[in-house]
Structure 1
Amino acid sequence: MRIAIVGSGVIGLSVALYLSLEGFKVMLITRNPQEGASWFAGGMLAPFSEGLEGELFEFSYESLKMYSDYVKLVEEVSRSKIDFWKNGILRVVLKGEEGLIKKAEQYRERGFSVEILERMDYHSEEVVSVIRYAEEGWVDTEHLMDALLLAMENSGVKIEIDEINKIELKDERVESLKGIKGNYRADYYVFCTGAWTKELFDVPVYPIKGQAIKIKAKPVDVVNYSTISYIIPRSRYTYVGATSEDVSFLGGNTVGGLNFLCGNAIRVVPSIAKAEVMSTIYGFRPATPDEKPIFLLGENYCLFSGHYRNGILHAPITASIAKSLIKDGVKSIYFEYFSQERF
């Protein structure tokens, strides 16, 4: 069976990898392999720190449990190393945020690994305490995306550089895809188009811009996630993020955005004030009104979009859902939970 996948973010590449390893002939179509939000994401795997609930928490936690095997698979196929940390995340509690402790206690009552600790020596006096969610972790998204692109080559996935601007539909079936360079036909189509989904589908997915900074210093050795900032150590630098701006696709880093990032990071970890800035980055998250994904299912196509702040976390489970659907004909319950009919 020939599969056409549109979109080369972490979701599209992961789906392509899983399907190619099942023996499908996979072609991935993208206008720019490095355009997606995945390249600029912080890489936190943090359903507890995010305070997720209901089906979104279950979806996210299930994917978190798959992550070690997922990283191992990508490393094996790509024959490259991915920096991946599994030693928990610190959820920083600032003054006035004592409700976060109650949330942590609720998670602990459900049997999850949760510790409530005093603030660390490097924290400011604005920090009241920290919650350690031991099951969480983070991944270097640049390593992950590089490895996934190598995995495409090693698993025989053909990457076509083109912009799809029209889907030819007939009776819930995709007949073909029309791009700037040409037309494309397949037996099954998977759309993983991120923040640009609305260009092809009438669904409420829209971009939320995020700015971030890379600094040379290593002020922390574990992710410090707070309401106003997240500070993420990587092997080569520390990632400080991130803004959330509803400005459509207005590109570039701004003075206001960088001031927000720096000021809030210093409020949490004061020593960051002395850190050298290496570079600034930005990207566009695919958001929805309720911050949950949108899944669509047609006769010979499906759409996975709207993963918003958790696309990196959701990659393994989304790819598994796509594989089960196309290989075994098994429709996940998440097609109902994340249906656009909820709007």
Structure 2
Amino acid sequence: MACSIAEINSGHPSCNARRSVRCAVVLLLALCSTLVLAAPSLHAGVVYFEKDFSKMGNVPNTSQGICSAAANVNSFAFLWNQYPGIYDDTQLLPDSNGNKVLEDSELVAARTMMAFGWDSPISGVHRPGIYSSGNTGTAQQIWEQTYLWFEDFAPGTTALRGQVYAVTGGWLDGSLLERKYPRWDFLWDAMVDMADITLGIQPKVAGTEGHAVTLTGLAFDDLDGDGLWSLGETPLKIGYLDPNKPSVQTWADVTFGGGSRMEFTWWQTGTTYYVYRAYTETPLFIPGDANGDGIVDDLDAVALSKHWGMGSATWAMGDFDGDDIVGAKDAAILAGNWGRTSRYYVGGEGLAPEGTAAAAAVPEPSIGALLVGLLCLACFRRRGGR
């Protein structure tokens, strides 16, 4: 039978049941799409674990040689696009017209600020940028200006970490850095956490300047076939966005030289470079973690189902994509992160930097089935209680 508007507004049982079924179907489809789209691509035993390159920035380097500023901005664009519910209400990147869409002119403006300085909107203190006021783009200056950028434009949202072959004792919050050449497992953990990652590279033979790129993918020999890298599986390639040709992803074979440092042939010179630093920025909030307790679980599923279809929604209500409505995209985000925890989260005691790291990028099917059951149950309870 057809449902009239009056019957719908009055909570007619048959209409409520139909809406509950529709809600359950949407959630099931969201989960299925997530299980497909989140999976890494397989190529004859070699796994290419990649970020969505379309979410990266595409701002180029300039003749002034400000590659680290460009690489930073291209990384920040990934955070902005990947986590709109976290960053679109910040000024992580300039949004001059307030439309919450990154435009080329805004990325260029951010690159200029990162390179040559800005005034803090919080303290009014002038930040010199990576390449001005005596700064020349050293590893310390890149780290400190990146740190201050988040402090000024997106405070309380992001955990910064890194590995760098340098003495960091006198650096701003240098305790967040490990003194070593970046390790493959460090890069892998950051990739699984969907952090943004910038690499500093130096020529193996002196006489050529260093460079900066944004890490976009890792490839390895997947011996156990689970799609995830583990100890004993051979690293093969890195994928990166180079500000000297930012419109395409570049892949390079990696080898390991002295000090276990990663080395590869840089496309522009055809010579060997090694990775001497890796800086990562990871959101403190896990997508799908509505209540902010550091894990995506049934409590978050209940919060999402309780507010299904509501407008003017917040993160706590289940709006993880920042469009102000709790809907199918939010369910897909929750499903894709089901069971995920983070080494960095905001809880009752504030920042807890030593929590549990993410264990996998894709939910297990059994967990996914549990999620569907929980969401559908919560959905039916909500509808039936009206």
TM-score of the superposed pair, with normalisation by structure 2: 0.24
Please tell me whether Structure 1 or Structure 2 has the larger radius of gyration of its CA atoms. Answer: 2
- Greater fraction of residues in strand: 1
- Higher RCO (CA 8 Å, separation ≥ 6 residues): 1
